[in-house]
C-alpha cells in the first residue's frame, strides 16, 4: 500500500512543483516588462500575429477599449489579471497597439 501511495504521490508532487514554479516565473517576468512593444511581442503577438486572434495593430483602437478587453476578456480572448500584467504595463501595451501601423502583408 505504501509503495502504491509513493507511486501516486511522485507525479502529483512533480506537477505541483511545476505549477508553483511557473507561477513564480510569471511573477518574475511581470517585473521584466520594458515597453509596450516588448509586451506585445512576448504575449499578444503569439495570437494576434499568427492569425489566431484578429489583427489589432493599425486599427486605431482606443487604449481604454484595449485595456478593458485585456482585463475582462472577450469571446476567445482570455482575461489577464493584474497579477500577470500590472496597470502601468497594460496601459503601455494599449498605447503601443493603439498607435502602431497595420502589419505589412507578405505576398
Q: Tell me the catalytic residues.
A: 76-77
- Report phi then psi at 77, rounded to 5: -75, 120
* Gap between the Cα atoms of 47 and 6, Å rounded: 40
Residue 94 CA, distance from chain mean position: 13
How many angstroms separate the CA atoms of 43 and 15, rounded? 24
Amino acid at each position: 500500500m505504501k509503495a502504491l501511495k509513493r507511486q501516486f504521490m511522485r507525479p502529483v508532487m512533480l506537477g505541483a512543483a511545476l505549477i508553483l514554479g511557473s507561477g513564480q516565473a510569471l511573477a518574475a517576468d511581470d517585473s521584466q516588462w520594458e515597453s509596450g512593444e516588448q509586451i506585445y511581442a512576448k504575449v499578444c503577438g503569439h495570437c494576434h500575429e499568427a492569425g489566431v486572434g484578429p489583427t489589432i495593430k493599425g486599427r486605431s483602437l482606443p487604449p481604454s477599449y484595449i485595456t478593458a478587453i485585456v482585463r475582462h476578456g472577450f469571446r476567445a480572448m482570455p482575461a489577464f489579471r493584474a497579477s500577470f500584467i500590472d496597470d502601468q504595463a497594460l496601459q503601455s501595451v494599449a498605447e503601443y497597439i493603439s498607435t502602431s501601423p497595420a502589419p505589412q502583408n507578405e505576398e
